Amino acid sequence: MFGIGFGELILVLAAALIFIGPDRLPAMAKTLARALNEFKKAGDEMKTAITSSLPGMEERQKSYAAKGSPVVKAAPAANDAGAGDAQENAPDKGPEGGASTGA
């Protein structure tokens, strides 16, 4: 489960028994199990909330796009932007390295 082998698990449990003690170990294990269960529930709730909101977002984007709203304009793709764009927007340089006069 966590990349821990059987022998390593026995070693961790033995160390916990020594350091925590036999009287407090069951209570600590129960508390740890409850905490892990709560984290799992929170993760499942977040996953459900995200997946349930996605279909509504697609419908809103389509309605904004149909209205011509500037909110939905797509950002340029990563391969569209780059060094080529910088060269296209830079002023033309003549043979001496200065700006050309256009003549």
Measured CA to CA in angstroms, residue 19 lies from 13, 29, 36, 49, 85 at distances of: 10, 13, 21, 41, 63
Q: Give the tokens for residue 89.
A: 């927007």
Tell me: pLDDT of 83 over 60: no
Q: Report helix, strand or coil for 65.
A: helix
Least confident of 7-11, 63-67, 75-79, 84-88: 84-88
Please, which residues bridge with residue 99 across strands? 93
Q: What percent of the chain has pLDDT over 70?
A: 62
Tell me: pLDDT of 18 over 80: yes
| Residue 91 contacts residue 97 (beta carbons within 8 Å) | no
Q: Please write the tens of the pLDDT for every residue from 20-34.
A: 898 999 999 999 999
Tell me: pLDDT of 67 over 90: no
